[in-house]
């Protein structure tokens, strides 16, 4: 056993990583002019390439899933496999249904705490932004965008505060993929205004890898 931050992780477990979440974990991409059939580019695929033989990476992402539904399958699809690390990204669909950030966070915390109780390390991930082309041309459009961004910021602060309180790392995907001025999802990372491009999923994988690589190296020498 090894203490990391304020909790204890079972280093005798395997080096299994399960990337858990919704369509942003599944790597969904809507059809575009350049790719009329769409694509699935799960970040877990890129993460496996980055980690190599140091870990086995599996992806468990369900398109359209709410965090309440994620909680329902968390035992079956994650905990029963005894992973060492679990990046968790959820809440985008809940926000689309105007669920309160506090309610979304309760579901996320349930999964974080269940992972910790099993000796696994959850990696909370902030919710990426949205991109609305020409949405700021009207007052109504600007107000709609501002409201959606405000709720994302509120949820992401809760996610970051949890990680800080527990002394665990987190992936700030929002900041990494958003335009600094508008707060919207940067065009290079926006597939359809909600989902990421291949470059976005690759960036996501790189951020997770930066957290996991030193932890995996430490576990092999303990």
- The domain locations on the chain are 2-221
Burial of 179 (0-12, 13-18, 19+ CB in 10 A): middle
The pLDDT of residue 19:
98
What is the per-residue pLDDT across 147-168, written as a single tens digit (0 to 9) for each?
999 999 999 999 999 999 999 9
Q: How many angstroms separate the CA atoms of 172 and 170, rounded?
A: 6
Cβ contact 64:22 at 8 Å: yes
CATH of 2-221, one of 3.40.50.720, 3.40.50.1110, 3.10.180.10, 1.25.10.10: 3.40.50.1110
Identify the DSSP state of 190: B
- Closest of 61, 60, 57 to residue 23, by C-alpha: 61
Side-chain half-sphere exposure of 8, counting CA atoms within 13 A: 6
Token duo for residue 152? 């994302």
pLDDT band at 133; cut points 50, 70, 90: confident
pLDDT band at 11; cut points 50, 70, 90: very low
Average pLDDT score over residue span 75-94:
98
- Name, in order, each residue with C-beta under 8 angstroms of 23's C-beta and a sequence gap of 6 or more: 61, 62, 63, 64, 65, 92, 93, 195
């Amino acid at each position: 056993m090894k203490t990391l931050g304020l909790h204890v992780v079972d280093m005798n477990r395997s080096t299994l990583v399960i990337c858990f979440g919704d369509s942003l974990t599944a790597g969904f991409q809507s059809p575009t002019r350049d790719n009329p059939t769409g694509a699935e580019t799960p970040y877990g695929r890129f993460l496996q390439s980055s980690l190599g033989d140091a870990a086995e990476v599996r992806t468990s992402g369900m398109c359209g899933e709410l965090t309440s539904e994620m909680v329902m399958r968390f035992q079956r699809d994650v905990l029963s496999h005894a992973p060492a690390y679990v990046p968790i990204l959820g809440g985008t669909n809940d926000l689309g249904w105007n669920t309160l950030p506090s309610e979304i966070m309760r579901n996320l915390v349930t999964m974080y705490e269940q992972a910790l109780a099993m000796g696994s390390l959850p990696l909370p991930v902030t919710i990426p932004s949205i991109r609305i082309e020409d949405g700021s041309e009207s007052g109504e459009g600007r107000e709609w965008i501002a409201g959606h961004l405000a709720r994302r910021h509120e949820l992401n602060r809760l996610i970051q505060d949890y990680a800080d309180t527990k002394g665990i790392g987190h992936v700030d995907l929002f900041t990494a993929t958003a335009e600094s001025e508008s707060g919207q999802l940067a065009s290079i990372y926006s597939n359809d205004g909600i989902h990421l491009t291949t470059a976005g999923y690759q960036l996501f994988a790189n951020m997770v890898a930066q957290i996991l690589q030193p932890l995996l190296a430490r576990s092999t020498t303990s």
